[in-house]
Structure 1
Amino acid sequence: MAEIHAVRLIVNFVFGKAFSLDGSLPECYKLRAYTYMMVAEAAKHFNFIKKAAVRNTSHEGVYP
């Protein structure tokens, strides 16, 4: 969860700063929503990989 939070902070900082100075709020929010979607998608894949890694390195029966 910490990784996702870090990514979200970076994304928010970069996109928030870059596009709110512009003054076009609708575009800013659209882009931010799209970015969050991408982050969520990446997080799902990351979680899947992490689970697979845990499953492959664990002893039988330790992890579900």
Structure 2
Amino acid sequence: MPETVVHFQIRMPPPLHEYLASRAREEKTSLNALIVAILRDAEGSREAAGTTASPGAITAG
């Protein structure tokens, strides 16, 4: 069964876009594939660290 694809728009500063686009060209991949890989790596790192809160979440304290 094919994987469901969700379309999502993101706004980012032009310098960040330029950096990511340049990195994607260097790695001979699409910008989308690069961003998905970065997000998957971040997800794996958070799981390995046992972190469950989302980035930027407000915690009681």
The two structures have a TM-score, normalised by structure 2, of 0.38
Structure having the higher Rg: 1
TM-score, normalised with respect to structure 1? 0.37
